[in-house]
């Protein structure tokens, strides 16, 4: 059960952030509307939302998920894998320090929160361009101190683990065909994404509600069968910067 979320408003220069997408230049006004709607949805779901101000020197800083991993026991402040994003975590730590003891991922370990999928007390940690083995092991050892288990997963081509696999309640995972074939996910119920709708893999479960990106009818139909209330969000400007629903908040 999540009670709180941290978000950060996108800055006017958010289009200067890192991206591999070819969806065109993002629009700040539309981004602001989409971000405001996202915050309203979190509030409708009963979360108290802490809204941080933009950070001009970090155009990707509204993707707050990458700066911390929060469990019921601890908040782990990351060492983000992209040099351009290193330092975003500094303004997240004081907010979390009011709620949890703090631990740090230390260099040479790197870790982005987008690579960490929590399913109850088990954690999947993606090894990606942003998260290295050392960062994954540091996080894993911290999690083990609190009785959690974890497994490393090779992310392959995508940006982050949660770009392609997410928990949608119970024992159910929403995931791409490539992830569905991996042994580590074999013990779970699975909704496998249509290859044309992989972006919708970044759907967000919050307290038995689902937030799903707009424009993915096959995924929507599959998720509707779970019987959970579904909130559909326009994520067009977020997607242009390689972001998604999970990236925009830290839930705890």
* Residues carrying an active site annotation: 160, 247
Q: Which residues contact 181 (CB under 8 A, 6 or more apart)?
A: none
Per CB under 6 A, 89 contacts ligand CIR: no
Smallest separation (angstroms) from ligand CIR to the CB of 161: 9
Q: Within 42-61, which residues bind ligand CIR (CB under 6 A)? A: 60
- Name the residue with the smallest CB distance to ligand CIR: 114
Per CB under 6 A, 118 contacts ligand CIR: no
Cα separation of 169 and 120, whole Å? 10
Q: Which is nearer to ligand CIR, 87 or 170 (CB)?
A: 87
Q: Which is nearer to ligand CIR, 129 or 170 (CB)?
A: 129
Smallest separation (angstroms) from ligand CIR to the CB of 213: 13
User: CA torsion 55→15→41→161, rounded to 10°?
Assistant: -90
Q: Which is nearer to ligand CIR, 114 or 169 (CB)?
A: 114
Smallest separation (angstroms) from ligand CIR to the CB of 70: 14
Cα separation of 179 and 158, whole Å? 11
From 110, 212, 243, 245, residue interacting with ligand CIR (rule: CB under 6 A): 243
Q: Which is nearer to ligand CIR, 117 or 152 (CB)?
A: 117
Q: Which residues contact 96 (CB under 8 A, 6 or more apart)?
A: 6, 68, 70, 75, 77, 102, 250, 252
From 204, 247, 249, 250, residue interacting with ligand CIR (rule: CB under 6 A): 247
Q: Which is nearer to ligand CIR, 219 or 239 (CB)?
A: 239
In degrees and rounded to multiples of 5, residue 197 shows phi and psi of -125, 30
Smallest separation (angstroms) from ligand CIR to the CB of 202: 7
Please give the biggest Cα pair distance in the chain.
Answer: 45
CA-wise closest residue to 246 among 23, 13, 235, 151: 235
In degrees and rounded to multiples of 5, residue 7 shows phi and psi of -135, 170
Give, as one character, the DSSP assignment of residue 87. Answer: T
Per CB under 6 A, 17 contacts ligand CIR: yes
Per CB under 6 A, 26 contacts ligand CIR: no
| Angle CA 188–113–221, to nearest 5 | 45
Binding mask 131-170 for ligand CIR (x = CB under 6 A): ----------------------------xx--x-------
Per CB under 6 A, 199 contacts ligand CIR: no
> Given the rule CB under 6 A, which of 118-126, 191-199, 225-233, 243-251 is the region that contacts ligand CIR?
243-251
Residues across the chain: 252
Write down the residue that tokens 């929507």 correspond to: 220
Helix (H) or strand (E) segment spanning residue 191: strand 189-192
């Amino acid at each position: 059960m999540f009670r709180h979320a941290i978000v950060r408003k996108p800055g006017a220069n958010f289009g200067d952030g890192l991206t591999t997408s070819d969806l065109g230049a993002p629009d700040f006004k539309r981004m602001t509307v989409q971000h405001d709607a996202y915050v309203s949805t979190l509030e409708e779901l009963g979360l108290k939302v802490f809204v941080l101000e933009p950070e001009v020197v970090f155009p990707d800083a509204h993707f707050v998920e990458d700066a911390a991993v929060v469990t019921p026991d601890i908040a782990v402040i990351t060492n983000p894998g992209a040099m351009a994003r290193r330092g975003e975590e500094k303004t997240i730590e004081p907010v979390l320090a009011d709620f949890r003891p703090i631990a740090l991922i230390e260099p040479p370990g790197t870790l982005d929160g987008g690579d960490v999928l929590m399913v109850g007390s088990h954690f999947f940690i993606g090894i990606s361009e942003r998260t290295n083995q050392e960062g994954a092991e540091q996080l894993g050892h911290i999690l083990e101190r609190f009785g959690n288990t974890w497994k490393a997963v090779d992310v392959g081509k995508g940006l982050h683990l949660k770009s392609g696999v997410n928990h949608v309640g119970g024992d159910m995972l929403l995931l791409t065909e490539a992830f569905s074939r991996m042994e580590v996910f074999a013990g779970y119920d699975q909704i496998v994404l249509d290859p044309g709708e992989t972006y919708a893999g970044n759907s967000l479960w919050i307290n038995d509600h689902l937030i799903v990106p707009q424009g993915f009818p096959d995924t929507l139909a599959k998720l509707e069968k779970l019987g959970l209330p579904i909130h559909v969000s326009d994520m067009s400007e977020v997607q242009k910067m390689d972001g998604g629903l999970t990236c925009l908040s830290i839930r705890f």
